[in-house]
């Protein structure tokens, strides 16, 4: 029996453990990741088993965590940083965009920035300010970084190991509202490479491009749409940078209609860039303008009204109506 | 690091002790007032914790154990001074006159702020660790330019002291001789990490590296905290520049209601600090040295109970914000993206009559 039913949080924990067993250069650094096991318990038990040199409770300083990881990577280590919550990554922003993303190019390929920055991201958990944000567009915008986001336990188990093994730096965005959802994890059959998008549900009417916590929401919307005789094809990006455009374009050529769904605010976003790129690639296949369903151009709102901010089934179905009923 | 001497005027047994640099200027009735402040915020904080347990708050950051540090420091602030808190400074908010219900709005998830910061001269909670210290220094630089008789005090913890922002704030304050007091509540724990994970030297020693004075005060001694803070603020107001106060105290409760301290700290440590409780020592002192009657303390407890009841009622009748309010105040001037978002939400049926 090689499969096990795990939460996504536990699957990442197991993936980290696997990577640490495989490669003694892999180490973890972050706040409260040792004895406490991280605020989401993703690193639970790892300090006990691998010691304080490989699982480091860092001083409370995000720029320090990422900046030190850069130096460790320069010496051949493979650090995995944990940023406690999305909204706390910004003190490290300078290190990420100026050092993590650029050291490889600056050194003519000598320094491998083989590090991972894990960020629990997105909202929907009733949290206070800075605990529900979607910063992925900043990182996707930055050349030199890869941005991955698993959406289920099986993918998470394999994608974290792939991210750690990568010689490129990976911003690993974990949709925290899905941490406790369980799935079968097959430890012998690797998931597809992170850079391949995956069709989670096939359909012929509308291509729904999504990632993160919204994948599940889109699947629920697809189920509801089926009742109205509409077949949505839901594609989970898995890698936000790079985007697997061949898979997306093949779907759009079939459906002719696209909506892009994510929690992030829409302006200068990943979703906007995907819409623009698909317009260029698939212009003659498109039968309606590409529609985005996203958060709004506001700070993430107080949790009591986050439901109205987040893309939900109704808003996705509304977008489906708009692309289906569009007449040129 | 625990053996470093610190300023103390009232020991854990409630006995006055003398100090060569500071003496208490407070009258017995003022001291009783500070006891009342501490008793009220402890009671309100406990009420907030149970409200969180009952699902009425998303989260709560308990202040228990740090009442003397906050009430002593808050009492030293003059009406015109300005304070910049993190998210645990409920005692400072109390001393600034912020209504207790407003402390809870953020934690209920109905707002990102909670009160008018200019009205109370107390900024809104800052959740990103350490950010507020730089803002406090900038505000203090404004005071210099206005030649105003004001000072600024900013609050952070032993964990926050590791942030780059804190270092930069201290550099700016030192270089510009800004009228600001950095008030560190060293409560020994940054969630699960002990202070030795943040520093190898007592935190107040760091001040000398920036070129201004630093002092450690018994953070559970409200008399000492008040005198030390008052002098630091007086110095700032009179052009003598910044200083740093390390209030040596202890987080008796969890980091927040999401935290489980039994995973990382020992009960014996908690017990040691229970014996240094900031309220008990004041009570002992007032009873023994000023013959204060038990009925006085009973009255304060009854008053605090009533305030807790009012707080609970107020919270339960707090309405959720209207969904459209998410578009309010994002910009000061009209903005087409905001209008577009507002129209979309109205079209989706969340607009009411708007």
CATH code of the domain in which B100 resides? 3.40.50.970
Q: Is B81 left (phi over 0), alpha (psi -120 to 50) or beta?
A: beta
Q: What is the DSSP letter of B140?
A: H
Do A59 and A161 fall within a single domain?
Answer: yes
Report the C-alpha gap between B8 and B16 in whole angstroms: 9
**Interface with chain B: mutation pick from A33, A61, A318, highest number of B CBs within 10 Å:** A61
A129/B198 CB distance under 8 A: no
Q: What is the DSSP letter of B316?
A: H
Do A108 and A235 fall within a single domain?
Answer: no
Span A250-295, pLDDT tens digits: 999 999 999 999 999 999 999 999 999 999 999 999 999 999 999 9
Do A48 and A115 fall within a single domain?
Answer: yes
Report the C-alpha gap between B287 and A28 in whole angstroms: 53
Do A242 and A314 fall within a single domain?
Answer: yes
A129/B264 CB distance under 8 A: no
Binding-face residues of B in 59-98 toward A, CB within 8 A: 59
Catalogue the long-range contacts made by B121-125 (C-beta closer than 8 Å, 24 or more residues apart).
B121/B79, B121/B80, B121/B81, B121/B82, B121/B83, B121/B96, B122/B82, B122/B83, B122/B85, B122/B92, B122/B93, B122/B96, B122/B98, B123/B82, B123/B83, B123/B84, B123/B85, B125/B85, B125/B86, B125/B87, B125/B89
In a domain, A191, yes or no: no
B48 and A CB contact within 8 Å: no
Comparing CB atoms, the residue among A59, A61, A298 nearest residue B326 is: A298
Q: In this structure, are strands A146-148 and A239-241 parallel, antiparallel, or unpaired?
A: antiparallel
Question: How many degrees, rounded to 5, is the angle at CA B146 between CA B145 and CA B148?
Answer: 120
Do A181 and A207 fall within a single domain?
Answer: no
In a domain, A192, yes or no: no
B192/A304 CB distance under 8 A: no
Comparing CB atoms, the residue among B106, B320, B348 nearest residue A315 is: B348
In a domain, A16, yes or no: yes
Q: In this structure, are strands A258-261 and A291-293 parallel, antiparallel, or unpaired?
A: parallel
Do B304 and B327 fall within a single domain?
Answer: no
The alpha-carbon gap from A35 to the nearest alpha carbon of chain B, in Å, equals: 6
Q: Spell out which residues of chain A touch residue B197, defining contact as CB-CB under 8 Å.
A: 57-59
Report the C-alpha gap between B102 and A164 in whole angstroms: 45
B201 and A CB contact within 8 Å: no
More confident residue, B2 or A296: A296
Do B353 and B306 fall within a single domain?
Answer: no
Q: Spell out which residues of chain B touch residue A120, defining contact as CB-CB under 8 Å.
A: none
Check residue A240 and give its pLDDT.
98
Do A129 and A50 fall within a single domain?
Answer: yes
Contacts of B323 (CB under 8 A, 6+ apart): A305, A308, B345, B350
Residue A234 belongs to domain with CATH number = 3.40.50.920
In a domain, B125, yes or no: yes
In a domain, A117, yes or no: yes
Average pLDDT over residues A185-198: 97
Report the C-alpha gap between B140 and B235 in whole angstroms: 13
Instruction: Compute mean pLDDT per 10 residues along chain B, 354 residues long, and list them.
Output: 87 97 97 98 97 96 97 98 97 98 95 94 95 96 96 98 97 97 98 95 97 98 98 98 98 94 94 96 97 98 98 96 95 94 91 58
Question: How many degrees, rounded to 5, is the angle at CA A244 between CA A239 and CA A247?
Answer: 130
Do A177 and A210 fall within a single domain?
Answer: no
Do B250 and B340 fall within a single domain?
Answer: no
Look up residue A194 and give its two tokens.
Answer: 């992170």
Do B100 and B47 fall within a single domain?
Answer: yes
Check residue B354 and give its pLDDT.
42
The alpha-carbon gap from B333 to the nearest alpha carbon of chain A, in Å, equals: 14
Q: What is the DSSP letter of A92?
A: G
Structural domain count, chain B: 2
B197 and A CB contact within 8 Å: yes
Q: So which residues of B are the catalytic ones?
A: 251, 255, 264
Q: Spell out which residues of chain B touch residue A298, defining contact as CB-CB under 8 Å.
A: 326-327, 330, 338, 341
Report the C-alpha gap between A208 and A291 in whole angstroms: 10
In a domain, B11, yes or no: no
**Interface with chain A: mutation pick from B125, B163, B336, highest number of A CBs within 10 Å:** B163
A57/B197 CB distance under 8 A: yes
Q: Spell out which residues of chain A touch residue B111, defining contact as CB-CB under 8 Å.
A: 302
In a domain, B237, yes or no: yes
Check residue B352 and give its pLDDT.
63
Look up residue B206 and give its two tokens.
Answer: 């760091």
Comparing CB atoms, the residue among A34, A126, A308 nearest residue B109 is: A126
In a domain, B245, yes or no: yes
In a domain, A193, yes or no: no
Helix (H, G, I), strand (E, B) or coil at B16: strand
Report the C-alpha gap between B324 and B350 in whole angstroms: 7
Do B56 and B176 fall within a single domain?
Answer: yes
Report the C-alpha gap between A88 and A6 in whole angstroms: 27
Span A225-240, pLDDT tens digits: 999 999 999 999 999 9
Do A49 and A170 fall within a single domain?
Answer: yes
Neighbour count for residue B316 (Cβ, 10 Å): 10
What is the distance, to the nearest Å, from the Cα of residue B270 to the centroid of all Cα atoms in its chain? 21
B108/A87 CB distance under 8 A: no
In a domain, A85, yes or no: yes
Residue A7 belongs to domain with CATH number = 3.40.50.970
Check residue B4 and give its pLDDT.
86
Do A139 and A218 fall within a single domain?
Answer: no
Counting one residue from chain A and one from chain B, the pairs whose CB atoms sit within 8 A come to 117
For residue B98, give its domain range: 28-321
A63 touches A37 (CB < 8 A)? no
B337/A267 CB distance under 8 A: yes
In a domain, B72, yes or no: yes
In a domain, A25, yes or no: yes
Q: So which residues of A are the catalytic ones?
A: 131
A297 and B CB contact within 8 Å: yes
In a domain, B307, yes or no: yes
Check residue B351 and give its pLDDT.
74
Do B124 and B221 fall within a single domain?
Answer: yes
Question: How many degrees, rounded to 5, is the angle at CA A95 between CA A92 and CA A98?
Answer: 140
Report the C-alpha gap between A5 and A3 in whole angstroms: 7
In a domain, B241, yes or no: yes
Do B338 and B310 fall within a single domain?
Answer: no
A268 and B CB contact within 8 Å: no
Q: Which of A132, A158, A186 is a domain's end point?
A: A186
Do B352 and B261 fall within a single domain?
Answer: no
Where residue A1 falls among pLDDT bands split at 50, 70, 90?
A: low
Check residue B350 and give its pLDDT.
83
Average of per-residue pLDDT values in chain A: 97
Check residue A233 and give its pLDDT.
98
In a domain, B22, yes or no: no
Do A170 and A272 fall within a single domain?
Answer: no
Structural domain count, chain A: 2
The alpha-carbon gap from B207 to the nearest alpha carbon of chain A, in Å, equals: 19
Do A70 and A158 fall within a single domain?
Answer: yes
State the ipTM, two decimals. 0.87
B247-to-B32, B74, B168, B220, B266 alpha-carbon distances in Å: 21, 13, 21, 8, 22
Residue A172: name the closest of A156, A192, A188 by CA: A156
**Interface with chain B: mutation pick from A29, A89, A305, A318, highest number of B CBs within 10 Å:** A305
For residue A182, give its domain range: 3-186
Do A181 and A220 fall within a single domain?
Answer: no
Do B268 and B333 fall within a single domain?
Answer: no
């Amino acid at each position: 029996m090689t499969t096990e039913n795990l939460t996504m949080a536990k699957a990442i924990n197991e993936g980290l453990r696997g990577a640490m067993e495989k490669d003694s250069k892999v180490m973890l650094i972050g706040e409260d990741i040792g004895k406490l096991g991280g605020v989401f318990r993703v690193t639970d038990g790892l300090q006990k088993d691998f010691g304080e040199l490989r699982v480091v409770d860092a001083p409370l300083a995000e720029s320090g965590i990422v900046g030190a990881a850069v130096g460790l990577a320069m010496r051949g280590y493979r650090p995995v940083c944990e940023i406690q919550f999305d909204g706390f990554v910004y003190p490290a922003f300078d290190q990420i965009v100026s050092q993590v993303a650029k050291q490889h190019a600056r050194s003519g390929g000598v320094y491998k920035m083989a590090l991972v920055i894990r960020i629990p991201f997105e909202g929907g958990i009733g949290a206070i300010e800075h605990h529900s944000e979607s910063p992925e567009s900043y990182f996707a915008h930055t050349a030199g970084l890869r941005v991955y986001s698993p959406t289920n336990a099986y993918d998470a188990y394999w994608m974290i190991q792939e991210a750690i093994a990568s010689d490129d730096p990976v911003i690993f965005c974990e949709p925290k509202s899905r941490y406790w959802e369980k799935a079968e994890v097959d430890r012998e059959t690797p998931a597809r490479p992170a850079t391949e998008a995956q069709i989670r549900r096939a359909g012929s009417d509308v291509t729904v491009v999504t990632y993160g916590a919204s994948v599940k929401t889109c699947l629920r919307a697809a189920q509801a749409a089926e009742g109205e005789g509409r077949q949505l094809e839901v594609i989970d990006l898995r890698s936000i940078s790079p985007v697997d455009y061949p898979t997306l374009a093949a779907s759009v050529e079939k459906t002719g209609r696209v909506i892009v769904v994510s929690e992030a605010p829409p302006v200068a976003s990943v979703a906007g860039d995907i819409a623009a790129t698909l317009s260029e690639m698939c212009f003659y296949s498109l039968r309606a303008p590409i529609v985005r369903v996203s958060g709004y151009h506001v700070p993430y709102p107080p949790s009591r009204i986050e439901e109205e901010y987040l893309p939900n089934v109704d808003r996705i179905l509304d977008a489906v109506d708009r692309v289906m009923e569009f007449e040129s | 690091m625990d053996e470093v001497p610190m300023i103390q005027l009232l020991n854990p047994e409630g006995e006055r002790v003398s100090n060569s640099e500071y003496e208490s200027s407070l009258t017995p009735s003022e001291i009783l007032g500070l006891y009342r402040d501490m008793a009220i915020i402890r009671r309100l904080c406990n009420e907030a914790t149970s409200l969180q347990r009952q699902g009425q708050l998303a989260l709560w950051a308990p202040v228990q154990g740090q009442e003397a540090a906050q009430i002593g420091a808050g009492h030293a602030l003059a009406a015109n001074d300005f304070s910049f808190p993190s998210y645990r400074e409920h005692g400072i908010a109390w001393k600034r006159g912020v209504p207790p219900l407003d402390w809870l709005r953020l934690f209920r998830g109905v707002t990102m702020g909670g009160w008018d910061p200019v009205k109370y001269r107390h900024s809104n909670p800052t959740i990103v660790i350490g950010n507020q210290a730089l803002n406090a220094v900038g505000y203090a630089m404004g005071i210099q330019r206005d030649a105003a008789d004001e000072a600024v005090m900013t609050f952070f913890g032993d964990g926050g002291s590791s942030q780059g922002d804190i270092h930069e704030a201290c550099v700016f304050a030192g270089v510009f001789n800004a009228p600001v007091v950095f008030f560190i509540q060293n409560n020994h724990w940054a969630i699960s990490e002990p202070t030795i994970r943040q520093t190898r030297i007592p935190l107040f020693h760091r001040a000398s590296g920036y070129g201004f004075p630093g002092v450690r005060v018994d953070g559970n001694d409200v008399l000492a905290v008040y005198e030390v803070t008052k002098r630091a603020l007086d110095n700032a107001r009179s052009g003598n520049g910044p200083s740093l106060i390390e209030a040596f105290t202890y987080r008796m409760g969890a980091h927040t209601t999401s935290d489980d301290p039994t995973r990382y700290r020992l009960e014996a440590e908690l017990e040691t600090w229970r014996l240094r409780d900031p309220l008990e020592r004041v009570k002992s002192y007032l009873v023994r040295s000023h013959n204060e009657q038990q009925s006085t303390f009973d009255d304060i407890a009854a008053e605090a109970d009533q305030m807790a009841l009012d707080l609970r009622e107020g919270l339960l009748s707090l309405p959720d914000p209207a969904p459209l309010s998410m578009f309010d105040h994002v910009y000061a001037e009209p903005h087409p993206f905001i209008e577009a978002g507002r129209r979309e939400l109205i079209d989706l049926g969340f607009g009411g009559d708007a």
